[in-house]
Structure 1
Amino acid sequence: MRHILQTDPKPSTCVDVETFDADVVLEGPPEVEFNPGIASRIPAKGSAGGALIRDERGRILFVKPRYKPVLDIPGGIADANESPKAACHREIQEEIGLTLQLGALLVVDWVPRNGVWRDSHQFVFDGGVLAVEQISVLRSHDDELQGFIFLALDDAQPRIHPSLFRRLRLAVEAVKFGRTIYAEFGRAV
């Protein structure tokens, strides 16, 4: 049985609750600092989970955020103590009301600092192919979005950040070849 955890102190995750609890116990007591203050000096990285969701023609689902001038894929930034996959699952439900069984991890991409945004890891999961019936009931459920659109990747290129274009090109390749790709700023390494 799978659960999405939403309460503290347990992280929001897509794993079985009993398995997670057992793993926490096996890990042992919380670590202590042998050099006081060292943990607070370690840089924090953000992480986000997004989904490559396609229609039956192979076009990619993009959301239209109100808070930035470019399109994005469904998903979002992981909250504290939340996995990127759980964040992706949660954001897709919040944004477009879709409950998906996310598939394989397609891309892990490191993105450098950009303005106010610190460097981060971007995870792209396989959101599968939606049937016409599923698409017909999609609605924007989030005030942060103006809506959504399905586009071929090449058609989306002028409307998305270049790094997202590169990352999605890798995600499409990962689906085709059945493997996960590690990237840095959208370029396979």
Structure 2
Amino acid sequence: MRRGDLLAEGEPEREFHAGIAARLPRKTVAGGALIRDRAGRNLFLEPTYKPTLDIPGGIAEYDESPYQACVREVEEELGLALEIGPLLVVDWVPAQGPWSDALAFVFDGGVLDPATIDRLRIDRVEAHGHEFLTLAEAGPRLRPSMLRRLALAERALATGTPVNADFGR
């Protein structure tokens, strides 16, 4: 489908001023999944590479959509090919320190039954472990912007309306 869509677009447009495309800013794009258990608690990973909790997902690779990145990363991190549902939040994150600004997409990862939870195989290179927690329980171990983003994701689940946010607001 994607190849056909690209072919239907025709030849890429030419640059009016040579080299301008290479000078345009680049953004980091990430896709994560809000995955819950039957009690309504969210699945959090304990990453090996940072001190705060995170949801399953990760950075999109070159020419990969945020949704595709989410599907790929969830399978890599959890050892399961889960059906990832609709978009809940798009959140712009400002540049900070060495990191460029980013767009963080959060998708509905669904509700896992106990048998599926038992089949989780956490990638130990990426995470020390995992926990199902409410936002109140996870809050002290999350960056404030992530806590705000996930609260918006829970609101989107409840209302059925995706949220556009700036740094979790």
Q: Distance in 2 between matches of 1:175 and 1:21?
A: 32
- Secondary structure (helix, strand or coil) at the match of 2:58 reads strand
Shift of 1:54: 0.3
Letter paired with 1:25: L
Query: Which residue pairs with 2:86 in the alignment?
Result: 104
Shift of 1:137: 1.5
Q: Does 1:30 align with 2:50?
A: no
In structure 2, the CA distance between the partners of 1:142 and 1:24, relative to structure 1 (3 Å rule), is farther
Aligned 8 A contact 1:54 1:60 in 2: yes
Q: Distance in 1 between matches of 2:23 and 2:83?
A: 37
Q: Distance in 1 between matches of 2:13 and 2:124?
A: 39
Q: Does 1:49 align with 2:7?
A: no
Q: Distance in 1 between matches of 2:125 and 2:134?
A: 25
Structure 1 consecutive aligned stretches of length 4 or more whose deviation exceeds 6 Å: none
Query: Which residue pairs with 1:177 in the alignment?
Result: 159
TM-score (norm 1): 0.87
Letter paired with 1:165: L
2:147 to 157, 160, 165: 165
Q: Does 1:143 align with 2:130?
A: no
Structure 1 residues 14-29: aligned runs within 5 Å: 19-29=1-11
- Secondary structure (helix, strand or coil) at the match of 1:126 reads strand
Shift of 1:142: 4.2
Shift of 1:50: 0.2
The alignment yields a C-alpha RMSD, in angstroms, of 0.8
* % identity of equivalent residues: 55
Aligned 8 A contact 1:96 1:142 in 2: no
Q: Distance in 1 between matches of 2:41 and 2:126?
A: 23
Cα shift readout 1:98-123 (whole Å, capped 9, x = no counterpart): 21111110000000011111000000
Letter paired with 1:22: G
Q: Does 1:77 align with 2:59?
A: yes
Comparing 104-113 with 24-33, which one deviates more in the overlay? 24-33
Letter paired with 1:42: L
Q: Does 1:153 align with 2:164?
A: no
Query: Which residue pairs with 2:69 in the alignment?
Result: 87
